[in-house]
Amino acid sequence: MSDNDRFTASGIALKPYYTREDFAETTEAQRPAMPGKPDYSRGIFEQGYRSAPWIESFACGYSLPEETNKRAKFLARTGQKGFQGRASINLVFDRPTFCGLDSDHPLAESEVGNIGVIIDSLDDMERLFKDFPLDNLNVGLIVDRSGPFIMAMYIALADRHGIPRDKLRGIVTNNPLTDMFCSKTPMFPAQASMRLMADCIAFCAQETPKFNTCRINAYNTRELGANAIQEVGFNLAIARAVVKEGVKLGMTPDDVARRINYQFSQGPDFFEDICKVRAARRIWTRILIDEFGIKDHTAARLKIHSQTAGSSLTAQEPLNNIARIAIQVVQAALSGTQSMHVDAYDEALGIPTEESVRVAVKTSKIVMHETGICNVADPLGGSYYVEALTDEIERRCVEVMDEVERLGGVAVALDTGYFEQEIANTSYLENREYESGRKIKVGVNAYREESSSSFGEVVFRPDDAVSAIAVKRVKQLRAQRDQKAAQACIEAIKQAVRNNEPVMPRYVEAAKANVTMGEMVSAVESVVGRFQYMPIIPNVA
């Protein structure tokens, strides 16, 4: 390797410049396609952002539901907008909720409300959505293993307010598969997880047809340390498994594909992170058309939510993050994303402050209105470099997907820890680049300002009293409800799971009978058991 060699972040060797010859391997007629036409590599809408700019879907959530309700209203006042100007609220749940534990569970102690909103019951959902019109709202429910339970509570809330279920719009991430090696929760075993995920997708395809019910969370894979190739390759393999699982429950591949949405990271390699998204749309379109034989090609449009890479932010000199984030927002826009979460510059330190969140919203607005990017679909299309890099990423991602199949498929890869081990190794090798100084992180391993480090300042912390309030509420709820009805609902869940019957309707009934989320999760776990995690550390040297 000479000093003059250059590579993308994932390690693709780069030429000093590119020409038309670098992407001329296929015929003129085949590519580059038109925006809004298969293979959709140039974007899923012909008009790009002319018809509608990206949805601003800023993850928010902490403390008691009424606190998060206040923050969501603040975001709305600051200008956050959903699709076609609707209100938008994108919710992060606290670790106990994510893990399926009520606030009074012994393991939840000292974690209640720390990094997400506390939800134990339908009453909490009522507090969370107060004053938001459920029939005119883009809601994001960022919750995976517990996704079906939270979705059931959301449907129960709509029912309680007389809002037709088919008016509900949004996304529940509902993807325990990525969760098994990324965010990790106390999880049902792989096969049961897949079935319960598909059960939610199938139910909602009927009841809430405007709701996306599975997010392929490639972003979390990247945050764990994957490179762009693994981010796309592993997750398209998982998406393919989701479609197969839905088909097992009697859905058409078109129906399942329409319910899926993707989340990609926009991180520290401008062109590679744009091109990987173009490659992902192309591969996905081909899988659906060639492998699953879908009839309506619009079902092959890969819908994307983008997040600026939290892992690229530094706790040191946090104001520098504003520059990083703004560049990543430009990347997301150029990749043709449908929605976006823009990180706040202090996210490496804790829950963002109102001020930092305001800067994030305004960063999105500045890119939307002050750069001209939204005027033309896929403005990078046809660039020698961009098209050549898209092709190369596509080739490498397909190799990764083939390797997963060769190992025996996604379930085997999950059970054996394959994804996590591969990612841990990538992360280890990359970290070595930074430790040796071959890669530069401004303010961390170069250009450091020893005196101005603000690492460790408390930026925001939920009040310690919230935990006590949440515990009291859930205990009170359990004590005061109709016990006979609640127990009957819990038994009905167990029976549906045992008999492989649709279980989502049982969750909805249970939510209405004031059964808590922890109780629903326990009911399922008593039938299907729990997945055992093994500790994995990098095994390359």
End-to-end CA distance of the chain: 19
CA distances from 460 to 65, 352, 465 (A): 17, 7, 15
Q: Which of 350, 352, 381, 518 binds another protein (CB under 8 A)?
A: 350
Among residue numbers 299 through 328, which ones bind another protein (CB under 8 A)? 311, 314-316
Identify which of 312, 332, 329 has the alpha carbon closest to the alpha carbon of residue 321: 312
* Closer to another protein by Cβ: residue 101 or 118: 101
Q: For residues 229 and 222, what is the distance between their CA atoms, to the nearest angstrom? A: 10
| Whole-number Å distance between alpha carbons of 191 and 475 | 33
The CA–CA distances, whole Å, from 221 to 8, 329, 362 equal: 18, 19, 27
According to CB under 8 A, which residues from 443 to 472 bind another protein?
A: 444, 455-458, 461
**Which stretch in 95-103, 132-140, 161-169, 236-244 sits in contact with another protein by CB under 8 A?**
95-103
Q: How far is the CB of 103 from another protein (least distance, A)?
A: 12
Size of the site for another protein (CB under 8 A): 44
In this structure, what is the dihedral angle of CA atoms 219, 224, 230, 233, given to the nearest 10 degrees? -50
Of 20-28, 110-118, 206-214, 509-517, the window that binds another protein (rule: CB under 8 A) is 110-118
- State which residue, 76 or 115, has the beta carbon closest to another protein: 115
Nearer to another protein, 32 or 310 (CB): 310
Range list of H helices, 287-383: 320-335, 354-370
Residue from 152, 192, 224, 304 touching another protein (CB under 8 A): that is 224
Q: Which one, 108 or 357, has the nearer CB to another protein?
A: 108
Query: x/- contact string, 179-218, with another protein (CB under 8 A)?
Result: ----xxxx--------------------------------
Which residue in 460, 440, 439, 456 sits closest to 448, CA to CA? 440
Contact code string over 415-434 relative to another protein, x by CB under 8 A: ---------x--xx--x---
**Residue 109 or 482 with smaller CB distance to another protein:** 109
For 277, list phi and psi in degrees, rounded to 5: -70, -40
Return the closest-CA partner of residue 511 out of 137, 148, 130: 148
Binding region for another protein (CB under 8 A) out of 93-101, 264-272, 300-308, 332-340: 93-101
Structure tokens at 144: 């995976």
Q: Does 358 bind another protein (CB under 8 A)?
A: no
Q: Which of residues 25 and 464 has its CB atom nearest to another protein in the complex? A: 464
Pairwise CA distance, residues 263 & 411, whole Å? 21
Q: What is the dihedral of CA 322, 325, 329, 330, to 10 degrees?
A: 80
Which pair of tokens denotes residue 24? 């001329």
Q: How far is the CB of 254 from another protein (least distance, A)?
A: 35
Q: How far apart, in whole angstroms, are the C-alpha atoms of residue 102 and residue 516?
A: 7
Q: Which stretch binds another protein (CB under 8 A): 201-209, 321-329, 479-487, 530-538?
A: 530-538
Least distance to another protein, CB of residue 96, Å: 7
| Nearer CB in complex with another protein: 402/457 | 457
* CA distances, 346 to each of 314, 455, 456, 458, 460 (Å): 8, 10, 11, 10, 10
Q: Contact residues for another protein (CB under 8 A)?
A: 95-96, 98-99, 101, 107-111, 114-115, 183-186, 223-225, 311, 314-316, 348-350, 424, 427-428, 431, 435, 444, 455-458, 461, 533-538, 541
